[in-house]
Amino acid sequence: MTILVSGGAGFIGSNFVLDWLAQSDELLINLDNLTYAGNLENLSSLQNDPRHLFVHGDIGDSVLLASLLAQHQPRAVLNFAAESHVDRSIHGPAAFVETNIVGTFHLLEAVRAYWGTLDDGGKAAFRFLHVSTDEVYGSLSPEAAAFTEQHRYEPNSPYSASKAASDHLVRAYHHTYGLPVLTTNCSNNYGPYHFPEKLIPLMIVNALAGKPLPVYGDGQQIRDWLYVKDHCSAIRRVLEAGRTGEVYNIGGWNEKPNLEIVDTVCALLDELRPRADGASYRQQISYVTDRPGHDRRYAIDASKIALELGWKPAETFDTGIRKTVQWYLDNAQWVADVQSGVYRDWLEKNYTGRSA
């Protein structure tokens, strides 16, 4: 038995690969193009593990995809591969269109061709699971009900628009060709191996380096926060028992404004790694100009996956954020290694020159 995972060296993908192989002896083919956020160091513990076969390649490479599928005959394909940062999509939307839309199309085409070669039993058992985001639903007002699977798509950034397009392609391949697909739309993930451009790891890394902690606008943008290992367990459950053609929203039931997240990170660092001068890391908070089109609130209603599949998150935000901060404190070398020239250039491009 084999599964194929695309994007398995990124943040969520690598956590999924590690969690999967912690409880399964099934061969896992890991296809990743190792763009800026793909990091093989995340998977260093699997370096000599025969259950993990890493392939450096692009989901847009149809020849490679056909070869991998024919050779390994996976029972499932899970698509984590995506360009995923809103600010990056504002500065350079072309890469998001190419990977998230065109790449997903090529992956679907290769999988459709492979699925067509299977016998009836193989076709019935096969699954294509597409990992997406709550950002496809747009922005919520403060009093609005949380996103359900029936919420209208209203993407507001090149990133979310490209993910919305990929979701629609996946749905179309099920309804047009009968491909047995599953789609998950998750809320904001946090946890180990998160690339330090996203809010929580950026605050941790900057705080420890004595740098400003940049908060967009008034810091009251609200997100639902999901510990990444809870997300991985939800994906495993959807793959195991989800109904084909269905969408499952995955959330942590943790709506919090960004400023509260930053304040919590500072409080934990004050406790776990106090500043030498005894002052609070909160002194490093700096308000910067908001980004264009910044969605005000996301919130996930995860009732469907709870009722149909019996899944709920194991971590509260308090337990998950403590584990996350401690992980970054314990893995300073990983942080140092990921702070490449590309990373420093990105921070300079995105934050330098923003007015306070």
What does the pLDDT look like over 16-41, one tens digit per residue?
999 999 999 999 999 999 887 788 99
Strands 27-32 and 52-56, bridge-based pairing? parallel
Amino acid, single-letter form, for residue 43: L
Angle at 233 between CA 228 and CA 239, to 5 degrees: 125
Q: Please report the pLDDT score of residue 144 as a whole number.
A: 96
| Residue pointed to by tokens 């930053």 | 262
What does the pLDDT look like over 243-292, one tens digit per residue?
999 999 999 999 999 999 999 999 999 999 999 999 999 999 999 998 88
Residues 327, 328, 332, 335, CA torsion sign: positive
279 CB neighbour count, 10 Å cutoff: 11
Q: Say what angle helices 158-177 and 104-115 make with each other, to 10 degrees.
A: 20
The pLDDT of residue 348 is above 80 = no
Region 233-237: mean pLDDT is 98
Angle at 152 between CA 148 and CA 153, to 5 degrees: 105
344 CB neighbour count, 10 Å cutoff: 10
Nearest to 135 by CA among 343, 293, 287, 257: 293
The pLDDT of residue 72 is above 90 = yes
Angle at 320 between CA 13 and CA 49, to 5 degrees: 35
The model carries a pTM of 0.93
Q: Cα 305 from chain centroid?
A: 18
Look at residue 344 and tell me if it is in a domain. Answer: no
Cβ burial, residue 74 (10 Å; 0-12/13-18/19+): buried
Going from the C-alpha of 206 to that of each of 39, 119, 171, 227, 335, the distances in angstroms are 20, 54, 41, 21, 11
The pLDDT of residue 356 is above 80 = no
Domain count for the chain, please give it: 1
- Determine the length of the chain: 356
Region 65-85: mean pLDDT is 96
Region 225-246: mean pLDDT is 98
pLDDT band at 84 (very low <50, low <70, confident <90, very high): confident
Look at residue 303 and tell me if it is in a domain. Answer: yes
Look at residue 238 and tell me if it is in a domain. Answer: yes
**Domain residue limits at 114:** 2-193+226-253+293-315
pLDDT band at 165 (very low <50, low <70, confident <90, very high): very high
Cβ burial, residue 227 (10 Å; 0-12/13-18/19+): buried
| Integer Cα distance of 220 and 217 in angstroms | 8
Look at residue 264 and tell me if it is in a domain. Answer: no
Q: Please report the pLDDT score of residue 351 as a whole number.
A: 44
What does the pLDDT look like over 94-106, one tens digit per residue?
999 999 999 999 9
pLDDT band at 343 (very low <50, low <70, confident <90, very high): very low
Look at residue 41 and tell me if it is in a domain. Answer: yes
CATH number at residue 153: 3.40.50.720
- Residues identified as active-site: 134-135, 159
Look at residue 249 and tell me if it is in a domain. Answer: yes
Region 318-343: mean pLDDT is 88
pLDDT band at 345 (very low <50, low <70, confident <90, very high): low
Look at residue 342 and tell me if it is in a domain. Answer: no
pLDDT band at 326 (very low <50, low <70, confident <90, very high): very high
Look at residue 84 and tell me if it is in a domain. Answer: yes
